[in-house]
Amino acid sequence: MSKTDPGNFFEDFALGQEIRHATPRTVTAGDKALYTSLYGARFAVHTSDEFARTLGYPRAPLDDLLVFHVVFGKTVPDISRNAVANLGYAACVFGTPVYPGDTLSTTSSVIGLKETSNRKTGVVYVRSTGVNQRGETVLDYARWVMVNKRDPESPAPEPVVPDLPDSVPVEDLAAPAGPDFAKYEVGPAGSPHLWDDYAAGERIDHQDGMTIEEAEHQMATRLYNNTARVHFNQHVEKDGRFGRRIVYGGHVISIARALSFNGLANAFRVAAINGGTHSAPSFAGDTIYAWSEVLERTELPGRNDLGALRLRTVATKDRPGADFPYKDGAGKYDPAVVLDLDYTVLMPRRG
């Protein structure tokens, strides 16, 4: 029996199958420092134990997207090692905050399967759940990927496509239960603009650009234990479709989120990802810019210290966001767009 794991092919997945992903991961202050050095993230709830304690946190929780990457990374060897394309995310809800010292592990269940018409590949829908060492859910999301078949002739399963919501309902968001954001100070947080100040339709150019280096995206992707081959192997990729290593899409999400501080400094918590599209690949040498649109401003049930903003953040490469590049009249993405992310953040509101 071969000792190496070739990863799963489309035929290896069955509806209802439960997968317990390997190598649980204790996250630490070391991961946090690397996350800072890779993106420059500086939302005050995450940068300062003292600031977090003032609100009622035991200490600063980790950035939500660092949690996302670690939980997601665990699924790669089983779900997407033989993936052709990462097609989408939905219903991604962040749960219990994660602190240095917590140990995260991930399980997935197969919630849909559909062979593609050419019979060479199939789409696998999974629901993945990340938990901490106490079994509390830290992240729960659906994802669908196109996976190669081992044999085009193998029979197709009954097609099942799960019904996934366009967005996470506000009732499903996990607003931190202990902390009291009436105590939130805008001075140290870096911006006077609170939830009350944003309006649906408002667009914000986050202004700065950040150039990606090979060493950076490789170090990030390995930190998350994400083993997808296209990110690390120039010897193979030089003869591949792009001639270069492809940057992990999550790396671009984190860059965009860090850039969004300038305009959204009080959006301290990513509460949900409603959907996301990596509309074009990114490579080392690309300079990433970002702009955001407020899609919706919503009250949170039972909370008058916090509100939710549904945002679209668009990342572009080698093109500033001043004129908000997005889609053309036919709905086709501007070639500079690399990410279209629909997500919901929490922000303190005025008393």
Task: Choose between 34 and 87: whose C-beta lies nearer to a second copy.
Answer: 34
Q: Which residues pair with 253 in a beta bridge?
A: none
CA–CA separation, 306 and 257 (whole Å): 20
Cβ nearer to a second copy, comparing 197 with 334? 197
Instruction: Check binding of 198 to a second copy (CB under 8 A).
Output: yes
144 vs 268 by CB, closer to a second copy? 268
Partners of residue 121 on adjacent β-strands: 148
φ, ψ (nearest 5 deg) of residue 109: -125, 145
Q: Which residue in the set 162, 190, 240, 281 belongs to the binding site for a second copy (CB under 8 A)?
A: 190
Nearest-approach distance from CB 230 to a second copy, in angstroms:
11
Query: Should residue 269 be labelled a site residue for a second copy when binding is judged by CB under 8 A?
Result: no
Which pair of tokens denotes residue 276? Answer: 């996301």
Please report how close the Cβ of residue 312 comes to a second copy at its closest, in angstroms.
15
Give the DSSP letter of residue 254.
H
Residue 281 in contact with a second copy, rule: CB under 8 A: no
Q: Does residue 137 bind a second copy (CB under 8 A)?
A: no
Q: Does 20 help bind a second copy (rule: CB under 8 A)?
A: yes
Q: CB under 8 Å to 183, separation ≥6 — which residues?
A: 54, 55, 56
**177 scored as a contact of a second copy (CB under 8 A):** no
For the chain, the C-alpha Rg in angstroms (whole number) is: 20
The terminus-to-terminus CA distance of the chain in angstroms comes to 64
Binding residue for a second copy, selected from 210, 309, 337, 346, defined by CB under 8 A? 210
Least distance to a second copy from the beta carbon of 50, Å?
Answer: 4
CA gap 125, 128 in Å, rounded? 10
d(CA 91, CA 143): 9
Q: Using the rule CB under 8 A, which residue among 264, 271, 295, 339 binds a second copy?
A: 264
Chosen residue from 60, 110, 175, 270 binding a second copy by CB under 8 A = 60
213 binds a second copy, rule: CB under 8 A: yes
Report, in Å, the least distance between residue 204 CB and a second copy: 5
* Interaction between residue 229 and a second copy (CB under 8 A): yes
Asked if 15 is part of the footprint of a second copy (rule: CB under 8 A), the reply reads no
Task: Identify which of residues 154 and 191 has a Cβ nearer to a second copy in the complex.
Answer: 191
| 304 lies in the binding site for a second copy (CB under 8 A) | no
Asked if 304 and 128 touch (Cβ cutoff 8 Å), the reply is: no
Q: Give me the least distance between CB of 174 and a second copy, in Å please.
A: 23
Give, for 49, the enclosing helix (H) or strand (E): helix 49-55
Report the run of H or E that residue 277 belongs to, with start and end: strand 269-277
Cβ–Cβ contacts within 10 Å for residue 159, how many?
Answer: 11
